[in-house]
Structures are given as structure tokens and as C-alpha cells.
Structure 1
Amino acid sequence: MRPILISASPGFKIAYLFLFLLIGVFFAGLFAGLILMIPVIKDYGEISGIYVDTIMQSIFAIGLPAYLIVAWTNNKPVQYLRVADNVKQSYNIPFAILAFIFSYLFASFLVQLNKGMVLPESMKGIEEFMRMMEDAALETTNLILSRKSLSALFLNIIVIAGFAAISEELFFRGALQQFIQEKFKNGHIAVWLTALVFSIIHFQFYGFLPRLFLGAILGYLFIYTKNLYVPIIFHFLNNATVILINFFWGDAEWYKNIENISITPQFVVLAIFSLVLTIALFWIYNRLISKNNNNDTNSRYNNI
């Protein structure tokens, strides 16, 4: 595809990206409506609408806008998005898995912390509106996760975990984060600004802090590995874990207790330990990458 906006500044790239997102929302709704007119799909009722809408939003509002803007502003869009090569380092996939495991407890702590946040009395109307949106989102999520057939499980993993992970990482890490980094010339600013947008755009205030943390982890995975597959794997694991736990143990007493766990001093200590382990993992990975790069350089030098 020929880049037609090759001279666009990073600021304009970001503006185009969100403009195409808005256009994509319109087309996603249009196509979802047309698909839901098909009798076979329509017969499944509300649940089919949720799946079709999710798929259309993932494609037309998130994934496609990201690819189009990158393709229209770059000569090599696939390379720019860091999806041209397979994961080269043998420890990239274990890195993503360990990052997910190590950070999970701290993310859970942020979930409980965020649940207890109360806005000032002067913002009571805003708080009630946000809780209403949260309840509506929770109702949709519970409707999807409450289905206990194997076909529903596989569909949830494909649509809720797979589609979301691929499309959102294309948009936020592949496109937006790199555009922001081009503008500010700073990887940390790019990671945290993208994570902030990533959390805000979900319109769920009571999931803001854990989603901000998740966005930062995904951003640093992308920066450290220079490969979009790695944050996609992490994102998929995060979503799939929620789906699998709800499917197999959603009604278990221990799971209900964990969801309503209070913030105790022990929980705080474990959460801090989780955060320290996560930071240490990134530090170790960076050392391994640096060591491998030095070895590759020395090997090429010795062969001259």
C-alpha cells in the first residue's frame, strides 16, 4: 500500500488515528446491524449481538484504523508495527508469561484499591454516572461469562481474549505508542501516556488503576522486546485467565472470597513483592538482551 500521508507529523498521525477510530465505530455499528439481520444469527438473541458487536468493533474501530494510518504514513507498515518477524529470542515468550504471573498480584491489589475509591461529595453526580456505566459493563461481562458450554468457552477465548488482544495491541502499542514516542522522543512518556489513554478509553473508572498498570506493562514489553507479539501474548493471557477462572470456578466460594478480599497489611506486602518481582524481571531481561547483543557484536568482530 502506497503511503499517502508520508510527511504527516506525529501529532497529525495521532489525530488521524482517533479520527479513523470514530469513523470505524460508525462502520462497526453499521455492519453489526446488517449481520444481526441474518435469521440464523438473530435467533440467538442478545448474546449474539454482544459477540457480533465486539468482533466488528475490534476490526473496524480498533485494528483496521491502526493498520491504515501506519500504512498511509510509513513505507513498511508491517515492519513498523513490529509484526514482520516471529519472536526471535527464545526467552521472549517465557518473558511475557512470567511478566503476567509476577504482576498479577499487584494488579489484583489495584483492583481492590480502585473499588474503594470514593469521589468528593461535590462530584457525587459524576460518581453515580460512572457506577452506572460500570454496572452496565459488568452486566454484559457476566452475561458472556455465565455461559457454561464448551462452545461458549472457545468463543469467549477467541473473541474476548484473541480479537481484543490483537486489535488493541495493534492500536495502542503498535500505532499510538510509537506515534507518541516519535513526538516526545521519550519511551517512558510514550508508555505511560498510551497506558493512560488505554485505561480512559475503556470508560470504566473502577477499573482505571489496574488497567493503567496493565497498559504500562504492555508498553514496556513492547519497548523491551521490540516485538508486538509479546504484548499480544500477555494481553491474551490476561483476558483468557479471567474467562477460564470464571468458567471452571466462577461459582466456587474461594473465588467469591478472592473477588471481595479486603486490603490487609499482608496483602499490601504481597502486592509490593509482586511489583518488585515484575521490575526485577524486566531488569534481568534487559541484561540478557544486552549480553546477547554484545556477544553477537564480538562474534561478528572475530569473524572479520
Structure 2
Amino acid sequence: MRPLFSSFTPGYKIAWLFLFLLIGVVVASILSGLVLMISGVGSEDKVTAIYVGSAMQSVLATALPAYLVVALTHAAPAYYLKMTGSERIGEKMIFAVLVFIFSYCLASFLSQWNKGIEFPAWMSEVERSFRALEDAALENSNLLLSGKTASSLVLNLLIVGGLAAVSEEIFFRGALQQFIQEKFINRHVAVWITALVFSLIHLQFYGFLPRLLLGGLLGYLFLYTRNLWVPILFHFINNALIVVLHFFWGDTQWIQKIEEMPINGWFLLAAVASAVCTVLLFWGYRKKRLII
């Protein structure tokens, strides 16, 4: 079947992508409210509301808009999104796991550094606004992660881990990054613009730097492996690890110490080593695969 808008420029594709995203946000919000009105769903249960809202947003405001734009502009959407190739998939998945392991210390350092940023006095109102957004997001996360039943663990792994990873990678790496690359040609520009948008769209200033790094790593995984399932795996591991740690050890002191680890020379040295190892890992993979 010939795509309806095959002549669209990359700029138009990006514009339609975000227009569909906005429409999806509205539709997801309306449908979430309707679902929560159904008897027995639990309209008074905030945790249920967060699950329903998260699932609706992931499908209707993230994955579906990206897939629709790609389907309208390309004859084989799954092929364009690079969700069909299986060549050396095992090797690529191992590469994703290694990148996660080697980059973890750097991400943790950036997270702690970002959380400690203080604004000058004349920007106190801006800081209060950012803190309010951060507190609201943290409250929702804590509500989801507070469940200690097997069903809550499975739901978190499916929705917070799996569904979020798949939908966001379809939108950001599968669609947006490739549209930007079509427009600017330079692949590195595409990776980092997409990472910037990925971080900004979460509306969490105090998680901006680690999320920017995450977006960059996901972008390069997609760029070098040419398979969307590779960044999806990385993204899932990142989300699922948080879910699993909080489920089994959320109330322990060592988790709290890790989350409140102070910035010092040793932490900085470990972060630098983590960054160097991650860069060398990408360099080695690129050289091995003869990627230009």
C-alpha cells in the first residue's frame, strides 16, 4: 500500500508527530477518566488511576502517534522503525547490557549532581516550581513502587518497565531521531537533539542530566545496532532495575545510602572511569562492525 504522505519533508513529519502527540494526550486523558468511571475499576484508588493513566499515555500519546506518522509516510513502517531485523541480535543485546553496566556509575553521578543544583536567590520562584514538579513526580513514583504484592511487581515491570520502554523508544528513537537525521543529515546531531527533547519532555529539571545521558546512550545504541529492540532492552533494564530494587530492598538502609550518596572525589573518579569505559565500549563495537 502506498503511504498517503510519502512526499512529506522531515520537518512536516516532525510537526505531525508532535501534533499527534498532543491529540493523544487529550484522548488518553479522556479515556482514562472514562475507564476509571467503570464500576469496580477503582476510581478512588490513586495507584489504579496512575496505572491506567500511564498505560493510556504510553499507547495513545507516545507509541501510536509515532507509528501513525511512520505508517502514513513510509510503505513499511515496522521496517522503517527497525523492529524487524534479527541479524546478530544476541550480540547486540549483550552490547546493550554491557553499555548499561559500564555507564551506570556515570548516570548515578549525574543524578546526584543534578539533584543538588541550587538556583540563585533571584530565581527562587523558578526553583520552587521545578521542585514542585519534581515532588509530584516523586510522589507518583513512590506510590507505584510502594506495592509489596506479586501483582504490583508484575504490573510495574509491565507498565513502568516494558510498556514505557517500548512506547518511548518507538516515539523518540524509531521516529523522531530518524526524522531529525533526515533533516540535518548529521547522525550525532540527531542523537543529541532527540536526547534533549526526550529529557525536556519529562518536565523534571532535577533529573534532566541523567535523562539526557540516557537519551544519548539509547540514541547511539539505535544508531550503531540499527535495531530498535536494542535500546528497548536497555530502557527496560533501566526501568526494571529501579522497580526490582525498590520491591525487594526499598526499605533497607543501603538503598537509601545509594540514593543519597554524596558527591566527592572518589565518586567523581568512578564517574570519569565509567564514562571512559562506556566510550571505549561504543568505539570497540563501532570498529568491530565497521560502522562509519
TM range (shorter): over 0.9
- State the 1:287 CA deviation: 2.0
* CA–CA separation in structure 2 for the residues paired with 1:235 and 1:22: 23
Matched-pair contact (CA < 8 Å) for 1:87–1:229: no
- State the 1:117 CA deviation: 0.8
- State the 1:42 CA deviation: 1.9
* CA–CA separation in structure 2 for the residues paired with 1:88 and 1:8: 33
- State the 1:89 CA deviation: 4.1
What is the correspondence of 1:84-233 to structure 2 with a 5 Å cutoff? 84-86=84-86, 88-233=88-233
Q: Which runs of 5+ in 1 are unaligned?
A: 294-304
- State the 1:8 CA deviation: 0.8
Identify the residue that residue 298 of structure 1 maps to in structure 2.
Answer: none
RMSD (Å), alpha carbons: 1.4
Whether 1:251 aligns to 2:251 is yes
Identify the residue that residue 41 of structure 2 maps to in structure 1.
Answer: 41
Matched-pair contact (CA < 8 Å) for 2:111–2:209: yes
Tell me the secondary structure at the aligned position of residue 92 of structure 1.
Answer: helix
* CA–CA separation in structure 2 for the residues paired with 1:161 and 1:264: 31
Q: Which runs of 5+ in 2 are unaligned?
A: none
Structure possessing the higher radius of gyration over alpha carbons: 1
* CA–CA separation in structure 2 for the residues paired with 1:83 and 1:55: 21
Identify the residue that residue 53 of structure 1 maps to in structure 2.
Answer: 53
Opposite residue 164 of structure 1, the aligned amino acid is A
Whether 1:272 aligns to 2:281 is no
Whether 1:26 aligns to 2:26 is yes
- State the 1:99 CA deviation: 0.5
* CA–CA separation in structure 1 for the residues paired with 2:69 and 2:129: 34
Identify the residue that residue 82 of structure 2 maps to in structure 1.
Answer: 82
Tell me the secondary structure at the aligned position of residue 189 of structure 1.
Answer: helix
Instruction: For residues 208-255 of structure 1, give each alpha carbon's deviation from its aligned partner in whole angstroms, at most 9, with x where no partner exists.
Output: 000000000000000000000000000000000000000111111111
Instruction: For residues 39-90 of structure 1, give each alpha carbon's deviation from its aligned partner in whole angstroms, at most 9, with x where no partner exists.
Output: 1212671111000000000000000000000111111111100002235343
Q: TM-score, normalised by structure 1?
A: 0.93
Matched-pair contact (CA < 8 Å) for 1:8–1:73: yes
* CA–CA separation in structure 1 for the residues paired with 2:175 and 2:38: 34
Instruction: For residues 109-132 of structure 1, give each alpha carbon's deviation from its aligned partner in whole angstroms, at most 9, with x where no partner exists.
Output: 000110111122222111100100
Identity %: 54
Q: TM-score, normalised by structure 2?
A: 0.97
* CA–CA separation in structure 2 for the residues paired with 1:87 and 1:98: 19
Matched-pair contact (CA < 8 Å) for 2:96–2:230: yes
* CA–CA separation in structure 2 for the residues paired with 1:237 and 1:156: 13
- State the 1:156 CA deviation: 0.2
Structure 1 range deviating more: 18-27 or 279-288: 279-288
* CA–CA separation in structure 2 for the residues paired with 1:43 and 1:6: 43
* CA–CA separation in structure 1 for the residues paired with 2:2 and 2:58: 24
Number of positions where the alignment pairs a residue of Structure 1 with one of Structure 2: 292
